[in-house]
């Protein structure tokens, strides 16, 4: 029996556990038995549905309603949401029903939102199949779809009943998607877990070796998911500490946008962490040694730490457009140390410009 781990999200009667390890998906049988839903729908990444051994082994896929969903950000569209609601109607889902969502963060965001809105909220279980989903997207109950005007514009908080992180899914994940997840793992470490950071630093074999070592992978997912779970348990609706998870994302989102989304999220966040680290260093609130350690780890994991050729004007525009849209001053989650981040508001745009210019 392979090793397993569990992390708790503590939110009173909405508490649930994140079950991690090879074979975690098999826990679904017990969960279904215990909850005895009136009906049941399985929403699955269509690319994995026909081919992934973990899914082919699931009896529910032969006996219950199945909704195949295309992978990737395109899943988070109003059209896909409508298709999900229509599938829920065909399956006769009511308040006693259960939806299981197996896929990456895009799929769990979409299907979680469909469950949040169906009959004003029906139970769902998240089965993240990407590293990013396991350590971030599937935990915490944020669900959303995109509109042409922006990402995640329509959404709801709707906690799942359980999160099953079956590490067996990661074997088929493309290397680039694994790297995206690793960027969020480093983020979790800098935000709240110096031991996770040190563990990653000790990984001399880089991303490839980590991915092939089930014990190390389990440890990394357990610790990173633990950071997210602990923060969500303190601040479910992002009134306080949950904002710390935006570390690397203010600059990261701007880099994504200014590149016309040619730079994938995880790489953009890695660049964002490096630049926001330098911003904090420049303010005298993040020691140079810690900043260098952070960039060293990102580099060792194959993640970028410097700005690619981008139009600086477009980058600054993307940063301030974000600010205008939110109607408030530019806020950053900046590191003070490895394992400790703080929210800093009202930064002088010239300070940010200087950092971007020096990094270009
Ligand atoms: N709700 C939250 O709190 C939260 C947090 C972070 C990110 N997100 C959202 O998550 C989304 C990104 O999620 P993602 O990085 O998981 O990417 P994704 O869901 O877009 O999936 C990326 C690709 O990987 C494929 N894939 C998924 N699992 C696979 C597997 N096991 N083997 C092979 N291929 C597989 C998918 O089909 C897709 O092509 C974004 O929309 C982001 O906004 C949400
Ligand atoms: Zn992210």
Q: Please give the pLDDT value at position 70.
A: 97
Q: What whole-number distance in Å separates Cα of residue 245 and Cα of residue 142?
A: 13
**Which-ligand-closest: CA of 69?**
1
Q: DSSP 3-state helix, strand, coil percentages of the chain (rounded to 5)? A: 55, 20, 25
Q: What whole-number distance in Å separates Cα of residue 288 and Cα of residue 281?
A: 6
Average pLDDT, the chain: 94
Pocket test for ligand 1, best of 74, 77, 105 (most atoms within 8 A of CB): 105
Among candidates 307, 298, 289, which has minimal Cα distance to 251?
307
Q: Please give the pLDDT value at position 101.
A: 98
Contact by Cβ (8 Å): 132, 184: yes
Name, in order, each residue with C-beta under 8 angstroms of 134's C-beta and a sequence gap of 6 or more.
Answer: 20, 128, 163, 165, 167, 170, 181, 221, 225
Q: What whole-number distance in Å separates Cα of residue 121 and Cα of residue 66?
A: 19
Catalytic residues: 120, 142, 184, 228, 238, 242, 246, 249, 253, 265
Pocket test for ligand 1, best of 132, 183, 188 (most atoms within 8 A of CB): 132
Say what angle helices 249-258 and 312-326 make with each other, to 10 degrees: 120
Q: Please give the pLDDT value at position 1.
A: 55
Give φ, ψ of 274 to 5 degrees. Answer: -60, -45
Domains present along the chain, CATH in parentheses: 4-172 (3.40.50.1970), 175-359 (1.20.1090.10)
Contact by Cβ (8 Å): 275, 359: yes
**Distance (Å) of CA 116 to CA 112, 141, 213, 355:** 6, 10, 36, 41
Q: Please give the pLDDT value at position 134.
A: 98
Q: What whole-number distance in Å separates Cα of residue 40 and Cα of residue 33?
A: 12
CA quadruple 30, 211, 181, 177: dihedral sign: negative
Contact by Cβ (8 Å): 19, 165: yes
Looking at residue 239, the DSSP 8-state letter turns out to be S
Q: Whose CA is nearest to atom 37 of ligand 1?
A: 71
Residue 342's DSSP bridge partners are: 334
Contact by Cβ (8 Å): 173, 314: no
Which stretches of the chain drop beneath a pLDDT of 70?
Answer: 1, 322-329
Q: Where does ligand 1 bind, in terms of residues with CB under 6 Å?
A: 45, 47-48, 71-73, 76, 103-107, 109, 129-130, 132-133, 136-137, 140, 142, 151-152, 169, 172-173, 177, 180
Among candidates 348, 7, 360, which has minimal Cα distance to 165?
7
Looking from the CA of residue 152, the nearest atom of ligand 1 is 43
Q: Please give the pLDDT value at position 245.
A: 97
């Amino acid at each position: 029996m392979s090793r397993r781990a569990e992390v708790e999200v503590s939110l009173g009667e909405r508490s649930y556990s994140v079950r991690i390890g090879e074979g975690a998906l098999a826990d679904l049988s017990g969960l279904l038995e215990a909850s005895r839903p009136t009906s049941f729908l399985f929403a699955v990444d269509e690319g994995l549905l026909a081919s992934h051994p973990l899914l082919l082994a699931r009896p529910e896929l032969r006996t219950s309603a199945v909704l195949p969903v295309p992978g990737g950000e395109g899943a988070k569209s109003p059209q896909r949401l409508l298709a999900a609601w229509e599938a829920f109607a065909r399956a006769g889902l009511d308040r006693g029903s259960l939806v299981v969502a197996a896929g990456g963060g895009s799929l769990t965001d979409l299907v979680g939102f469909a469950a949040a809105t169906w009959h004003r909220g029906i139970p769902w279980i998240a089965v993240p199949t990407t590293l990013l989903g396991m350590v971030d997207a599937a935990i915490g109950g944020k669900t959303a779809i995109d509109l042409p005007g922006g990402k995640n514009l329509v959404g709801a908080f709707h906690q799942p009943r359980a999160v099953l992180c079956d590490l067996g899914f990661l074997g088929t994940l493309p290397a680039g998607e694994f790297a995206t997840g690793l960027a969020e793992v480093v983020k979790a470490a800098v935000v709240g877990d110096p031991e996770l950071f040190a563990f990653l630093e000790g990984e001399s074999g880089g991303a490839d070796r980590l991915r092939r070592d089930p014990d190390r992978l389990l440890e990394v997912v357990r610790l990173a998911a633990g950071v997210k779970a602990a923060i969500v348990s303190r601040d479910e609706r992002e009134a306080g500490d949950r904002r710390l998870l935006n570390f690397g994302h203010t600059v990261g989102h701007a880099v994504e946008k200014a590149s016309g989304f040619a730079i994938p999220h995880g790489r953009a966040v890695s660049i964002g962490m490096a630049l926001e680290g330098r911003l904090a260093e420049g303010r005298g609130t993040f020691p140079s040694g810690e900043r260098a350690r952070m960039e060293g780890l990102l580099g060792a994991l194959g993640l970028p730490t410097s700005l690619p050729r981008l139009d600086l004007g477009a980058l600054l525009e993307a940063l301030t457009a974000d600010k205008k849209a939110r109607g408030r001053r530019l806020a950053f989650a900046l590191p003070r140390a490895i394992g400790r981040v703080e929210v800093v508001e009202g930064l002088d745009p010239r300070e940010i410009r200087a950092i971007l210019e020096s990094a270009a």
